[in-house]
Amino acid sequence: GAVVSQHPSWVICKSGTSVKIECRSLDFQATTMFWYRQFPKQSLMLMATSNEGSKATYEQGVEKDKFLINHASLTLSTLTVTSAHPEDSSFYICSASGGSGTEAFFGQGTRLTVV
Amino acid sequence: SQQGEEDPQALSIQEGENATMNCSYKTSINNLQWYRQNSGRGLVHLILIRSNEREKHSGRLRVTLDTSKKSSSLLITASRAADTASYFCATGGEAGNTPLVFGKGTRLSVIA
């Protein structure tokens, strides 16, 4: 199957700083990538849809100025958590639509801890 | 928003037993997928069942789909301790630019 690589797998940052998470499709071109957030013992909630070359579409309740998404190429999307606070601590995971049917390919996820 | 509701939310069984997890969804679908997530890790795609299919098998996994009841079930037979994980159903993603919508998930614990 297709491979989506997400980096870093975990990060600890101080409150007020910004953190960038990368999501790369390694063996296919992904015109669309999705960013999800997962709090402990909860399900994945869609944050935004990232389209190559255009602005991301954010879900209701997700602050676009706080969660900056850039999809500069067909293989890379980045999520930057700006001015992170402890409540932003969560598991962030990206996915990209691949070429084989409707299966979505997920990155390994990033565990963000804001202290 | 979440499309599906899984039940049970948590399930604990002995190794060798079968585990059944159920998922209900709200809108019409073209397909439904099941994913597995080990604690704190990424998602692993298990199986996709299309709306015109009623049952699908993959190894020890058996998935059923009842579109009239808007429900699906995932059966894991002869469970192993390594099956301990969270299992999610997901709908959507029919087109490349539409996201998956996940159910709340079932946390399965298989005790050796």
Hey, what are B32's tokens? 């439904």
Summary mean pLDDT of chain B: 91
Over residues B100-106, mean pLDDT: 92
What is the predicted pLDDT for the residue at A98? 57
- Using a CB-CB cut-off of 8 Å, the residues of chain B touching A108 are 41-42
Local confidence pLDDT in tens for the 115 residues of chain A: 678 999 999 999 999 999 999 999 998 888 889 999 999 889 999 999 988 888 899 999 999 999 999 988 889 999 999 999 999 999 999 998 754 455 678 999 999 999 9
pLDDT per residue over B53-93, tens digit each?
999 999 999 999 999 999 999 999 999 999 999 999 999 87
Separation in Å, CA B28 to CA A35, A41, A59, B57: 24, 27, 21, 22
What is the largest distance, in Å, between two alpha-carbon atoms of chain A? 41
Q: How far is B103 from chain A (nearest CA, A)?
A: 7
Q: How far is A102 from chain B (nearest CA, A)?
A: 6
What is the predicted pLDDT for the residue at B3? 59
User: Would you call B30 and A102 a contact, using CB atoms and an 8 Å cutoff?
Assistant: yes
What is the predicted pLDDT for the residue at A27? 84
Instruction: Report chain A residues touching chain B, CB-CB < 8 A.
Output: 1, 6, 31-32, 34, 41-46, 49, 51, 91, 93, 95, 97, 101-109, 111
Query: Which of A102, A105, A108, A111 is best to mutate for the B interface (most B CBs within 10 A)?
Result: A102
Residue of B60, B63, B9, B6 whose CA lies nearest to B32: B63
Q: Are B19 and B11 in contact (CB under 8 A)?
A: yes
